[in-house]
Amino acid sequence: MTIGVKKVSLERTTREQIYLPAILEGLLTTARHFFKNTMTKGMGDVDTIRYGEPDVDPKSYYPERFRGVHRLMRREDGSVRCVACMCCSTVCPAKCIYIVAEDRKDNAEKGPESFVIDELKCVVCGLCVEACPCDAIRMDSRVHMPPSETRGEAVLSKVELMSRGSVSVAVQGGVGSDYRATAPQADPRFGHG
């Protein structure tokens, strides 16, 4: 069996060699879309939120799962719910969360001496919220990070994060009603039915 070589010639026309018709065709397509979207009433079929319009409220466009600025939740006594377990700072892909742990004198568990989030590094992934075992950090504030002129304004400390937070309704440490006692009788996982 012999392997042959097939010669293929690349023949281009003069029109294809100068690329000008292709460039003009691209510019024409861009211009057509531009005028279609700017001159038609209602923006045609463009999915764009028109900020700055007097009849458009941009807050009405927030999706249900919008991730806003971080906030730290508080306990009933006003202390931070964080137990400095470092789960949020460990899972953060941007490494924007810095926690220094301290022992609390009045409690058996530790807490954060300092809790700092650099919002300029944050990629708003929400992994810190998912990783937190005690519902201490949330991103459901429905607030955008305000513009800042210096880096220091975008680095939020524990006091600033707690001022955005509220008392959490989550039950920490397993205290509360037992799910197995209040589970529906038809739940097959508990052998009731």
CATH number at residue 98: 3.30.70.3270
Residue 189 lies in a domain: no
The span from the CA of 191 to the CA of 193, in Å, is 6
Per the structure, the complete domain to which residue 116 belongs is given by 71-164
Residue 192 lies in a domain: no
The span from the CA of 116 to the CA of 100, in Å, is 9
Mean pLDDT over 161-187 rounds to 63
**Residue 138 near residue 74, CB atoms below 8 Å:** no
Residue 100 lies in a domain: yes
Strand partners, 118: 155
Tens digit of pLDDT for each residue in 55-70?
655 555 566 677 888 9
Residue 151 lies in a domain: yes
Number of folded domains that form the chain: 1
Residue 1 lies in a domain: no
Q: pTM of this prediction?
A: 0.59
Instruction: Name which of 62, 74, 68, 58 is nearest 141 in CA terms.
Output: 68
Tens digit of pLDDT for each residue in 73-90?
998 888 888 999 999 999
Residue 138 lies in a domain: yes
